[in-house]
Amino acid sequence: LQRSDLWIQTKFSGLGAHDPNNVPYDVNASLEERVKQSLKKSLENLQTDYIDSWVMHGPEDSWENHFKVWRTMEMFVDEGKVRQLGISNFYRVEDVKFAYEQARIKPKVVQNRFYSDSGHDVEIRKFCQEHDIEYQSFWTLTANPKAYRHPAALELAKTKGLSPEGLFYAFCMAIGITPMDGTTNTQHMKEDIALLNRIRSGEKIFVDSDELAIIGNALGTPNWSIVGDGEEL
């Protein structure tokens, strides 16, 4: 296995996102220095000399501090230690747009919790689609059991030869979402890989918009799909 066979993504996280007893940088250092120390520690821990995707874990307490972090992250793209950048936990489309517009190196990832409280990020996902940004979801299964455990969804999963959870992942990918999968269960890993192999072979899990709507309508969010009329699912 070569390094080029792997795609590695990690994050810079502010103080509030860390266990106080396990912070990967000097908490008394400047914000810019914390970012530098954080990347150094990530490279050491991951035993690599570059990161494919480096994501800002969440908003700072001001735009000034946001861009202190972002400009420092951009510097490592310039140096070749990072291939692309992203943002996470931004739930207002206005904030995503501003962060994008003011960035010299544009974010290529938006990673958010995919749940009803944010309206399943319909407007943010639309912005991502329009600007070639990958929308990554987390809390994907935990937040949406009603959608994939709906009786019609359970029946559809059986006809597709998938678990209800696998069908929901397929739904997410069909509407342009990259679901983050944190399973430690070997069987679930095998199921997820098998699903990816089916999709990559060209199989359409959902044959039409009606099948897709079985899951989408159960989300409880109007206009859940950002795929325009006439576009291929």
State yes or no: pLDDT of 228 exceeds 80. no
Angle between helices 93-102 and 122-130 (to 10 degrees): 30
Q: Is 0.85 surpassed by the pTM of this model?
A: yes
Q: What is the pLDDT of residue 79?
A: 98
pLDDT reported for residue 229: 41
What is the pLDDT at residue 214?
96
What angle (nearest 5°) sits at the alpha carbon of residue 186, between those of residues 180 and 188? Answer: 50
Give the per-residue pLDDT at 225.
84
Q: What is the pLDDT of residue 221?
A: 93
pLDDT of amino acid 104: 98
Mind spelling out the 3-state secondary structure of 180-232?
CCCCCCHHHHHHHHHHHHHHHCCCCCCCCHHHHHHHHHHHCCCCCCCCCCCCC
Query: Is 60 exceeded by the pLDDT of residue 201?
Result: yes
Band (31; pLDDT cuts 50, 70, 90) = very high
3-state DSSP assignment of residue 34: helix
User: What is the Cα–Cα distance from 149 to 76, expressed in whole angstroms?
Assistant: 44
The average pLDDT across 134-158 equals 97
Q: What is the pLDDT of residue 232?
A: 38
- Tens-digit pLDDT profile for residues 49-62: 999 999 999 999 99
Question: Residue 220 — left, alpha, or beta (φ > 0 → left; ψ -120 to 50 → alpha)?
Answer: left
Q: Across residues 77-85, what is the average pLDDT? A: 98
Please report which confidence band the pLDDT of residue 151 belongs to, taking 50, 70 and 90 as the band edges: very high
Q: What pLDDT sits at residue 231?
A: 40
Contact 168, 147 (CB under 8 A): yes
pLDDT at 227: 57
pLDDT tens digits for range 164-181: 999 999 999 999 999 999
